[in-house]
Structure 1
Amino acid sequence: MLKLQIPKNRIKALARHLRDQFELERLERGWELFHKGLAQDIELKHGLEVHALVRDTKPAEVILNLETIPKSECSCSQGEHCEHQAAVVFALFVPHGRPELLLAQLKQAILVKNRQAQTRQGSTRTAEKKQEQRLEPPAPGQSPGQWQRFFDQQFYGFSLNQQSSIEQFYGAVKEKLGGHAEGWPPPLKELYALQLLLFVMRKIEQFYQETKTSYLSYYIETGCRTVGRQCHDELLTLVPKLDMEALTRKYTAPWKETLAMISEAALSGKESPLSWSTVYRSIWWRMPQDGPWMSGERARLAGLLAASDLMPRRRDALIMAEAHFLVIEGDDERARQRMEQLGRREAKDFFLYLHRCYEEEAWDRMLAWLRWLLPAVQRAQQDELRQFCHYWMEAVQRQPSDEEWIGVMVGLLPRTYPFYTAYLLKAKRYKAWMDLQMASRVSPLSLYSVDLQTVEREDPALVLPLYHQAVERAIAEKNRTAYATATKLLKKLHAFYKKLNRLPEWEDYIYRLAVKYSRLRALQEELKQGQWIP
């Protein structure tokens, strides 16, 4: 008898055969036979066949064909894919690992395969059923829920299979569904447009969740956020057009249903690439303040917050919504006090208030929000930081001094470098601008030529330290390319000293530089070629 250990690629092929062809019950029975030691007399014959005897109730002779596994045989009456073949495979696996782990892996794979098959069958039946129950196109007399079901039916089975699928979906929705409300009464036409936006956002969220483990997950998430921002911008344009008076009085039922949809998405606290809270707050900010709608919603929020088993994210969503009604009343201070109870404060959630202050030119109110947001902005993403800086620049122009804003920009360096340097140039603070470049160790060769020329025209002496620093940094690299860069910078320096009528200082500087780096032969050659040293 041969002490048998077949190659690893062969045992992997046998394991795949068990996974793809065997029923779970047969595998478990085969494991039981192997575990009891009933798979015996295992031999390799002819180089490509494993012969074995499985001493079951009735002994079974097994022949596994390693070259063409489906041609394997067993003398039992159960046909192919029997438990005796499985028992022999488990026995062969022993030199490669633990057979019980192989069994567990096979069981898991088979269960997943069975579930997927059931899902495909269910999807096929659902698709056939949906095909039979085609819905009528949206009409003014239908409810928003009926519109949404029609939207879903039109895009049933839409899948993401490439990087730009999200953008394609967005464009297809606009093209295919956007024209159904032509000729509707104005309040319903705008409501339909809002429902279409809600559909796109809901599907984006669905795509985001379904593809989190996909190889395209990064591209899908990026697309979701890009289209989400487009929806957000459309929303800010659409909401002011909504006739709240007509919707709350004449179209009460569809409007109430719309608010319920938005509330369900915004107050759940679930993870999302979209800001449902912004949708919720934008809508309620335009609602009539003196009426049962507002008081009813505030009472509902209080009741939801009273629950003792709230998850942190849901609790934050409810606190944000409750505090928003204080903002609507104009009591920003109390709203911020309430928001201090948030578990996590995200800068992006508050740009709604900054935008509203900008629209109303309420600069003092904007500054109060900006100051309160500063801790959250320090950990914000770069695009959020950019918005923050733009709002602060707008506000600071209406203040008697920009000292506070400059302190913020300096405190957030280096992330605020592009905003701070642009402001200093605009404010003609050239000395501060040059100090910033020095502190940031920026080479003159890396700066925008227009910016540098602006400072040079104003005061050439200001740029001298920047060039001196860049020369020293280039020489410190100690290679010919860096020495050539240093020479290029020295030519500019020589021109500045000449323009300033300070050539004796230049000669003293170049002499000291040559002495300091006298051991760097390649640099000395560059200085000689420039005719700065003999």
Structure 2
Amino acid sequence: MLKLQIPKNRIHELTRHLQSDYELDRLERGWEYFHKGRVAGLELKHGVEVHALVLEPNCEVIIDIDHFSKSECSCSTVRNCEHIAAVVFTLYASYARPELLLQQLKQAIMIRSRQQQIRSGGRTADKRQQDRLEPPTEEQSPVQWQRFFDQQFYGFSLSQQHSIELFHNAAKEKLAPYGEGWKSPLKELYDLHLLLFIMRKIEQFYQETKASYLSYYIETGCRTIGRKCQEELLRLTPTLDVEALTQSYSAEWKETLHLISESALSGKESPVSWPTVYRSVWWRMANLSSWIAEEQTRLQHMLQAKDLMPKRKDALLMADAHFAVIAGDDEAARRQMEQLSKREARDFFFYLHHCHKEQAWERMLAWLRWLLPVVQRAQQEELRQFCQYWMEAVGRQSDDAEWVSVMVALLPRTYNFYSAYLLKGRRYKAWIDLQLANRVSPNDLYSVDLQSVEKQNPALVLPLYHQAVERCIAGKNRTAYKSATKLLKKLNNLYKKLDRLNDWEDYIYRLAVKYSRLRALQEELRKGKWIP
């Protein structure tokens, strides 16, 4: 990378010109020249001129850092060419990461382009924009609320300075007060729409920045805030007076359901769990049979369409099966969901949570058994939730044999859950066998846990230390041998406690003979006074 530092205020001035004077396509071509290392011969002349050569197509560039408009390039472009932009990116690299600059410039240029489109729309567009800017009222429809929300955050984009957390907090702080003082149930409906707006924007940010170098950072933030919004929604949904909404505000409620359906039934990839939103809202309408029948008819009609994309079909199948769950026929729902092209554990935790809340343990166990094949390939966080639900259910069973077999089948991923369960149940022999099978050293276990087992039966701990000693010796280095002798000291104490010193003498003798050719080990054993 070429290094040439010019004053920082000059760098900021040059990047400002990139933002205000360049079109996006030309800026991206300049980035490509820089990224491929085509800028050469960078030098500062006369204190104000940066000279450089952009290879392939070998253009000579002169940038006047005092008067950018006087900058020149030997290419055929009259001004503001991609070669000048490439040199500016190269200069910026001495201060910060140019890829961050590119992202910021792209966002600024996109906002500028949108603003120009609005201005070019004339008076009709201005009037339409003013209409959308009217604050939400109880007389307006939810669609008008959403338009106002969109207008208030028009042009908001994500960067390292503007995170998804910042957007979430800003939206809550700015938009929530408009619904304060409204009568129920419109107050709760407004709060629901505010959450839906934030979730829609999260999805939009995720899609827009998917190919960005910040995609992982933004995706992580979107998923985190998406889960937070989902938790808020699950707390809000039980407070909705659905009966009053369907009777007195049916048009507003239908708009709400339509908005949710558009996102939940699209099948597109999203950091937001729209199926959970859809199911939680419709579950509140379990007693409204006419509304449910109408929605089921609509879903079945959509399922009959030809050439459905797999994800879209899966979303429709899950939505349709949910109404069987609402009716209490979980088995029928599961049979229908066997048709899914892909099952993800996270899509069904909603049902486990509902069963836990209702303390329907047998119903929960049926779902857990059905989910077992899916959980085997689930992410670790999903596996953790699965194990926690099953631990809750197993406490209500007369026998835990089924749960133990599940934990064993999912080892080593379930090691922590299974290990804690065995200790809690004082199954010390099984706990020791688990540590031996996983080749866990006593040094890696909590001393409190070891002491509990040792207090019950010191003999149980002996194989654990024997295995650890052998593994240390297998390391065949001085540090490992020292670790082995420390473990031998603990072993000696255990044998004393058991009054089995003859067995200890026999063990240490056989160990010394077995590894008699390891001179460093023999020295460590002598230092510990284990052998003469």
Q: TM-score if structure 2 supplies the norm length?
A: 0.79
In the alignment, which residue of structure 1 is the partner of 2:10? none
Query: Could you tell me how far 1:370 is from its partner in structure 2?
Result: 0.5
Task: Write the deviation string for residues 136-183 of structure 1: whole angstroms up to 9, x where unpaired.
Answer: 221111111111111112212211111870111111112111222111
CA displacement, residues 368-424 of structure 1 (integer Å, 9 cap, x when unaligned): 110000111011111111110001011111111110111111111111111111111
Offset, 1:217: 1.0
Q: Does 1:126 align with 2:124?
A: no
Return the alpha-carbon distance in structure 1 between the equivalents of residues 229 and 244 of structure 2.
24
Aligned to 2:463: 465
Quote the residue 2:92 is aligned against.
none
Q: What is residue 260 of structure 1 aligned with on the other side?
A: 258
Partner in structure 2 of residue 430 of structure 1: 428
**C-alpha separation in 1, matches of 2:305 and 2:491:** 71
Q: 1:148 to 1:290 in 2, by over 3 A?
A: closer
| Structure 2 residue identity aligned to 1:124 | Q
The structural deviation recorded for 1:310 is 1.0
Instruction: Letter of the 1:381 partner, please give it.
Output: Q
**Distance in 2 separating the partners of 1:276 and 1:180:** 25
Asked whether the equivalents of residues 163 and 219 of structure 1 are also in contact (C-alpha less than 8 Å), the reply is: no
Contact 1:163 1:216 in 2 (8 A): no
Q: Which has the larger radius of gyration?
A: 1
Q: Percent identity?
A: 68
1:241 to 239, 242, 247: 239
Post-superposition shift, 1:428? 1.0
Rounded to whole Å, the distance in 1 between the matches of 2:252 and 2:168 is 24
Query: What is the CA-CA distance between 1:193 and the residue it aligns to?
Result: 1.0
Aligned pairs, number: 444
Contact between 2:206 and 2:271, CA under 8 Å: does it hold in 1? yes
What letter corresponds to residue 115 of structure 2 in structure 1? S
Q: Closer, same or farther in 2 for the Cα pair 1:132/1:473, shift >3 Å?
A: same
Change (3 A) 1:163 1:463: farther
- Is it true that 1:227 corresponds to 2:219 in the alignment? no
Helix, strand or coil at the partner of 2:374: helix
Give 1:16's aligned residue. Answer: none
Tell me by how many angstroms 1:283 deviates: 0.6
1:216 paired residue number: 214
SS of 2:495 mapped into structure 1: helix
Q: Supply the distance in 2 between the matched residues of 1:201 and 1:524 (Cα, whole angstroms).
A: 66
2:15 match: none
Which residue of 2 is the match for residue 42 of structure 1? none
Quick one: which amino acid aligns to residue 300 of structure 1?
R
**Counterpart in 2 of 1:292?**
290
Please name the residue that 2:381 is paired with: 383
- 1:500 pairs, out of 498, 503, 506, with 498
Give secondary structure in 2 for the equivalent of 1:435: helix
Q: Which stretch of the first structure deviates more once superposed, 133-142 or 493-502?
A: 133-142
Say if 2:111 and 2:155, in contact at 8 Å, map to a contact too.
no
Structural mapping, 1:31-180, within 5 Å:
66=60, 81=77, 120-126=112-118, 129=126, 135-162=133-160, 165-180=163-178
| CA shift digits 1:233-266 (9 cap, x unpaired) | 1111111111111111011111110000000000
* C-alpha separation in 2, matches of 1:487 and 1:127: 80
Contact 1:347 1:384 (8 Å CA) reproduced = yes
Once residues 509 and 521 of structure 2 are traced to their aligned partners in structure 1, the CA distance between those partners, rounded to angstroms, is: 13
The answer as to 2:484 corresponding to 1:486 is yes
| 1:288-367 aligned within 5 A | 288-367=286-365
Whether the aligned pair in 1 keeps the contact of 2:299 and 2:316 (CA below 8 Å) is: yes
| Alpha carbons 1:244, 1:288 under 8 Å: kept | no
Structure 1: runs of 5+ lacking an equivalent:
1-19, 25-47, 49-63, 75-79, 83-112
Q: Indicate if the aligned counterparts of 2:135 and 2:148 stay in contact, CA closer than 8 A.
A: yes
Deviation at 1:117, TM superposition (A): 7.1
**8 Å CA contact 2:60, 2:74 repeated in 1:** no
What is the CA-CA distance between 1:126 and the residue it aligns to?
Answer: 2.5
Instruction: Name the counterpart of 1:87.
Output: none
What are the Cα deviations for residues 200-248 of structure 1, in whole angstroms up to 9, with x where unaligned?
Answer: 1101101111111111111111111111111111111111111111111
Change over 3 Å in CA distance of 1:344–1:474 after alignment to 2: same
* Whole-angstrom CA distance in 2 between matches of 1:202 and 1:126: 22
CA–CA distance in 2 between the matches of 1:156 and 1:298? 36
Would the aligned equivalents of 2:286 and 2:326 in 1 still touch at CA under 8 Å?
A: no
Question: Structure 1's 413 and 127: CA in aligned 2 closer, same or farther, altered over 3 A?
Answer: farther
Residues 296-353 of structure 1, C-alpha deviations (whole Å, 9 max, x = no match): 1011111111111211111000000111000111111111110000000111111111
Q: RMSD of the alignment, in Å?
A: 2.8
Question: Equivalents in 2 of 1:73, 1:318: separation in Å?
Answer: 59
The structure-2 alpha-carbon separation of the partners of 1:489 and 1:163, relative to structure 1 and needing over 3 Å to count, comes to farther
**Contact 1:347–1:377 (CA under 8 A) maintained in structure 2:** yes
* 1: CA distance, partners of 2:138 / 2:492: 78
Equivalent residue, structure 2, for 1:90 = none
Secondary structure of 2:157's match? coil
Letter in 2 for 1:297: E
Q: 1:239–1:67: structure 2 CA closer, same or farther, 3 Å change rule? A: closer
Deviates more, 1:221-230 or 1:116-125: 116-125
Deviation at 1:291, TM superposition (A): 3.1
The one of 192, 195, 198 aligned to 1:194: 192
Q: Using a 3 Å threshold, how does the CA distance of structure 1 residues 163 and 334 change in structure 2: closer, same or farther?
A: farther
4+ residue runs over 2 A deviation: 64-74, 116-134, 288-291
Query: Which residue type is aligned with residue 476 of structure 1?
Result: A
Deviation of 1:123 (Å): 3.4
- SS in structure 2 at match of 1:264: helix
Opposite residue 348 of structure 2, the aligned amino acid is F
Question: Deviations 1:42-94 (Å, cap 9, x if unpaired)?
Answer: xxxxxx9xxxxxxxxxxxxxxx98575987889xxxxx659xxxxxxxxxxxx
The AA in structure 1 aligned to 2:254 is K
Secondary structure of 2:499's counterpart equals coil
* Shift of residue 493, structure 1, vs aligned partner: 0.7
CA, structure 1 residues 530+144, in 2 after alignment: closer, same or farther (shift >3 Å)? same
Question: Hey, what does 1:89 align to over in structure 2?
Answer: none
Q: Secondary structure at the match of 1:379?
A: coil
Could you report, residue by residue, the CA deviation over 1:278-302 in whole angstroms, capped at 9, with x for unpaired residues?
Answer: 1001110110434321111011111
Match of 1:279 in 2: 277
Shift of 1:498: 0.7
Q: Which amino acid aligns with 2:425?
A: A
| Inter-partner Cα distance in structure 1 for 2:309 and 2:322 | 20
- Aligned partners of 1:164 and 1:223 also within 8 Å: no
- Cα distance between partner residues in 1 of 2:161 and 2:467: 45
Change (3 A) 1:191 1:431: same
